[in-house]
Amino acid sequence: MAKRNWKRQKAAFKAKVKRRIRQAMGALAAVLLVSAGVITIGENQDWATPSWRQIYAEFGIGETVGIPSDAQGAQTKIHFIDVGQADATLLEQNGAFALVDAGTQDAQQDLLDYLHEAGVEELGYVIMTHPQSDHIGGMRAVLDEFPVEQVLLPDFDKAPVEWWPATEQLMACIGKQQNPAIVMTAGDTYTLGDATITVLLDGVESDNVNNISPILLFEAPGVRFLMEGDAEKQVERAALENGTDLRATLFKAGHHGSATSNTEEFVQAVHPRIAVVSCGENNSYGHPHEDVLETFRREGVQVFRTDLNGTVVAYVDEENVLRIAVTKSEEAEESSLTAVA
């Protein structure tokens, strides 16, 4: 009798456990369903909820923004973020960050996700090269998302600027920053970790807003990196006539690799070992132009492109060697160059 009672008690206990498990699983499924709905709605409504991409990155599953693993431990990195037919470059040195341009509004969530994955908690500088939508579209979102120590602006007085509502809203947002924005002038130098950002030329007076783009030099142990926004031949000519020291190991091709920039004389003066082109896949502008690619070939410059290689990260390794890692490539091979001292 005692044995039968024990068996009945055991069976009842098992049944009770199964019921509790089913109830718990049902409750968990309901919680997950509600959470998924909140995350999805939050992405569409810009709520302060994590995105699916951030969640995937946290658990190492699904699609992530992707920072090349080879570059992750380096103190000095230059991230050419794949934001399509647009520009966004993240400078990183010893835990300090600066963002140069911010892509389009359509790509702003991808940009924010990438900045989070890169470890950005605050930005020392947000730098606007010029106020066009493919360079400032995501800038307001960046300013809302991260504390920013200083915003650096081009000289708007040097060319006509179209003040679209989105541009005016961005400028109003910049005006609310704790530190007043600074207009960059030639000779200015800004510190980022153990690196410096120097304004070599602050654009030129022109009827073309591209030409207010400054020429900037980022110098860190192991690398000299030159960038010129969408500056065109007029700006490049002015830099050459001024006798500006343009030499750099790494060069970001002007104006997405357009033939309106990247003149042979300018590229020769820069004398880069590597050039990176930020452009969208199959873009309607034909960037980068074949004339520019041919100039790079003649000068022995190795070219990486965000349309072909995804996000490109230049980094300096422990032996002071400048290396390139990419997130998308048919060969998926890393390139390395010895940095110029």
* Torsion from C-alpha of 261, 266, 270, 271, nearest 10 degrees: 110
Q: Give yes or no for a contact between 317 and 337, defined as CB atoms under 8 angstroms apart.
A: no
pLDDT bracket for residue 50 (50, 70, 90) = low
Average per-residue pLDDT for the chain: 87
* Torsion from C-alpha of 225, 101, 41, 169, nearest 10 degrees: 160
How many residues are listed for the chain in this entry? 341
pLDDT bracket for residue 173 (50, 70, 90) = very high
pLDDT bracket for residue 29 (50, 70, 90) = low
Alpha-carbon Rg for the chain, nearest whole angstrom, is 25
Comparing CA positions, the residue from 247, 304, 293 lying closest to residue 270 is 247
Q: What does the pLDDT look like over 121-154, one tens digit per residue?
A: 999 999 999 999 999 999 999 999 999 999 999 9
The beta strands (E) that lie in the chain are given as 76-80, 89-93, 96-100, 123-127, 148-153, 182-183, 189-192, 195-201, 215-220, 223-227, 250-252, 274-277, 302-305, 312-316, 321-326, 335-338
Average pLDDT over residues 200-215: 98
Give me the amino acid identity at 213: S
CA distances from 187 to 200, 217, 235 (A): 6, 11, 16
Place of tokens 């590229």: 267
> Partners of 313 in the beta sheet?
79, 325
Average pLDDT over residues 14-30: 68
Average pLDDT over residues 256-273: 98
User: Structure pTM?
Assistant: 0.81
Tokens of 91: 């400078």
Q: Residue 50, Cβ neighbours under 10 Å: how many? A: 16
CA distance 174 to 168: 10
Q: What residues have CB less than 8 Å from 193, skipping those under 6 apart? A: 75, 93, 94, 95, 96, 220
Q: What does the pLDDT look like over 309-336, one tens digit per residue?
A: 999 999 999 999 999 999 986 544 445 5
Q: What does the pLDDT look like over 230-239, one tens digit per residue?
A: 999 999 999 9
* Residue 305: strand, helix, or coil: strand
